[in-house]
Amino acid sequence: MDPVRNPYAPGAGQRPPELAGRDRELDAFDIVLERVARGRPERSLVLTGLRGVGKTVLLNALRSAAVRQGWGTGKLEARPDTPLRRPLAAALHLAVRELAGRHPAEADEVLGVVKAFALRSVDPGAKVRSRWQPGIDVPAATGRADSGDVEVDLVELLTDVAGLAAAAGKGVAVCIDEMQDLMPDDVSALCAACHELSQQGLPLIVVGAGLPHLPAVLSASKSYSERLFRYARIDRLDRGQADRALRAPAHDEDAEFTDDALEALYAATEGYPYFVQAYGKVAWDVAPRSPITAGDVAVAAPEAEAELAVGFFGSRFERATPAEREYMRAMGELGVELGDGPVATAEVAHLLGRKPQSLSPARDALLKKGLIWSGERGQIAFTVPHFGRYLRANAPD
Ligand SMILES: Nc1ncnc2c1ncn2[C@@H]1O[C@H](COP(=O)(O)OP(=O)(O)OP(=O)(O)O)[C@@H](O)[C@H]1O
Ligand SMILES: [Mg+2]
């Protein structure tokens, strides 16, 4: 069918034509927004899930919901070994501008604090001062959020930003994607600051998204994090939701799927949103006419898999070193009998004929790169759905 009218959107963070199966989270979030703006106690929210299940897309949708309520919002993506200060300052800069409206003078004062916070990121021990400047054109405040102790500074900064929102009867949502990649000091400071703000009843929440071990990262940092955050596990779509994700966009273009086609699509995608979009896209292109049939899906499958092999799996596999690839291939082999569930690290070592300790560097690097995760001690699993199958089918060297 006409590729120009193809509605499907495979790609990291690509807004799907139909956000299927997330109504519960969206509705719950509307209540959180209402409550926080009225000074009621509410926990911050953390979305967790495997690669490609739709965390980023949902995070963006929650942010949009906050914007619709007139909140100040900002978003950042955490990166390994990158301090939080600058990206957080940039995100809050946006949030404050959104809130400035009727309080421009107060907003400028808060921006001065945001700037002071950002500038403090310059390594105090450095001989040459960085010439980096945040794009905030008010003078930096002094004596506020600039002590150099990230926890102290974060409390002051967030208190001021949230105070501005409170004066306007609104709130602030700070969205943090890939939150598991925050540096340990920043995680702990962020938890402490959220704790402090919620005790003061200030209207600021963090909305985080990350891999399944993110709750463990947070609770390792602060034992009270479970009371601070509500964890929402974002999962693959069930059959009805996956059908809706495919059908609704087609319907808008006057096209349909046969029931057999939907069944074949679910068998291939297992409802993983990235795969749903990838298969939907190719099935649409190869189908000569509506309705799209199971035969069309069969024709589409090799092309859809080839595209996933490059765009979804291959791009990740390429980030791994030879030793890490060997480790993952062993995981993939062991996964055959376990339906690609978690495998024991000891088994991986056994299969490779190595001492477990000698494999720790490869395992730790894979954890850091977000390719594997560990739900319990001694167990590891791929963060990327169907990755074991991909490795077995492609065995790239
Ligand atoms: N609820 C949904 N219904 C239909 N399609 C969806 C849904 N959520 C996400 N998608 C699609 O799935 C793909 C992956 O979404 P997204 O990038 O948000 O996943 P992610 O969980 O952030 O992945 P990663 O961990 O790799 O960052 C996108 O193509 C998006 O359009
Ligand atoms: Mg994402």
pLDDT at 336: 86
CA-nearest residue for atom 15, ligand 1, is 54
d(CA 182, CA 200): 25
Q: Enter the DSSP assignment of 14.
A: P
User: What is the average per-residue pLDDT within 353-357?
Assistant: 93
CA 91 to centroid of ligand 1, rounded, Å? 22
Q: What is the average per-residue pLDDT within 51-61?
A: 98
* DSSP output for 86-147: HHHHHHHHHHHHHHHTT-HHHHHHHHHHHHHHHHTTS-TT-SSPP----S--SPPPSSSS-S
Are 108 and 141 a contacting pair, CB within 8 Å? no
Pocket of ligand 1, beta carbon within 6 A: 9-14, 16, 19-22, 49, 51-57, 245, 273-274, 276-277
Which amino acid does the sequence have at 390? Y
16 CA: nearest ligand 1 atom: 31
- Compute φ and ψ for 47, nearest 5 degrees: -95, 130
Max CA distance (Å), the chain:
69
397 has pLDDT over 80: no
DSSP conformation letters of 29-98: HHHHHHHHHTT----EEEEE--TTSSHHHHHHHHHHHHHHTT-EEEEEE--TT--SHHHHHHHHHHHHHH
pLDDT (tens digit, 9 = 90+) per residue, 325-339? Answer: 999 999 999 988 877
Ligand 1 centre and the CA of 269: distance in Å? 13
Output phi, psi for 116, to 5 deg.
-60, -40
Kindly report the pTM of this predicted structure. 0.95
**CA-only gyration radius of the chain, Å:** 23
- Give the Cα separation of 206 and 189 in Å (integer): 13
Helix axes 294-308, 259-269, angle to 10 degrees: 20
Task: Give which of 394, 269, 270 is closest to 332, Cα–Cα.
Answer: 394
Of 382 and 103, more confident? 382
> Running DSSP on this structure, what letter comes out for residue 266?
H
Closest CA to 8 of 200, 240, 286, 356: 286
DSSP conformational letter for 206: E
Q: Please indicate whether residue 220 or residue 134 has the higher confidence score (pLDDT).
A: 220
* pLDDT on residue 127: 55
Q: Which ligand is nearest to the CA of 308?
A: 1
Minimal-distance CA residue to ligand 1 atom 16: 54
Residues 161-179: pLDDT tens digits?
999 999 999 999 999 999 9
Query: What is residue 339's predicted lDDT score, i.e. its pLDDT?
Result: 79
Q: Tokens 């074991």 identify what position?
A: 388
Q: Which atom of ligand 1 is nearest to the CA of 272?
A: 12
What pLDDT was estimated at residue 103?
A: 85
Q: How far apart are CA 352 and CA 330, in angstroms?
A: 7
Mutate to test the pocket of ligand 1, among 15, 56, 372 (most ligand atoms within 8 A of CB): 56
- Residue 122 scores a pLDDT above 90: no
Closest ligand 1 atom to the C-alpha of 21? 1
Q: What mean pLDDT, rounded, does the chain reach?
A: 93
What's residue 346's pLDDT? 95
Of 309, 254, 244, 241, give the one whose Cα is nearest residue 284.
254
